[in-house]
């Protein structure tokens, strides 16, 4: 019996699996409970501005400077 899926208590655990749909289907074929346990969330790719903002924030949080002229 799939105790995680049938339990009334929530499990305080966050697992993020990232991959392509084909790999997910392969995983489900070998372990069907994966389809019941995990919710699928499709993330759209970031546009250029979102990507720049993300990396600028990540680097600045670590006190790393970015030289725009050297970026492609």
Contacts 24+ apart (CB under 8 A), 35-38: 36/2, 36/5, 37/2, 37/4, 37/5
Buried b (16+ CB within 10 A) or exposed e, 39-60: eeeeeeeeeeeeeeeeeeeeee
Average confidence (pLDDT) over 43-69: 90
Q: Is the pLDDT of residue 63 over 90?
A: yes
pTM over 0.85: no
Q: Is the pLDDT of residue 48 over 70?
A: yes
Q: Is the pLDDT of residue 9 over 80?
A: no
What is the domain count for the chain? 1
Give the pLDDT score at 5: 66
The domain containing residue 58 runs over which residues? 3-70
């Amino acid at each position: 019996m799939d105790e995680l899926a049938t339990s009334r208590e929530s499990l305080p655990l966050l697992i993020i699996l990232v991959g392509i749909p084909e790999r997910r289907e392969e995983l489900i074929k070998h372990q069907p409970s994966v389809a019941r346990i995990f919710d699928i969330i499709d993330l759209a790719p970031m546009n250029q501005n979102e990507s720049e903002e993300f990396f600028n924030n990540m680097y600045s949080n670590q006190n790393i400077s970015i030289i725009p002229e050297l970026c492609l």
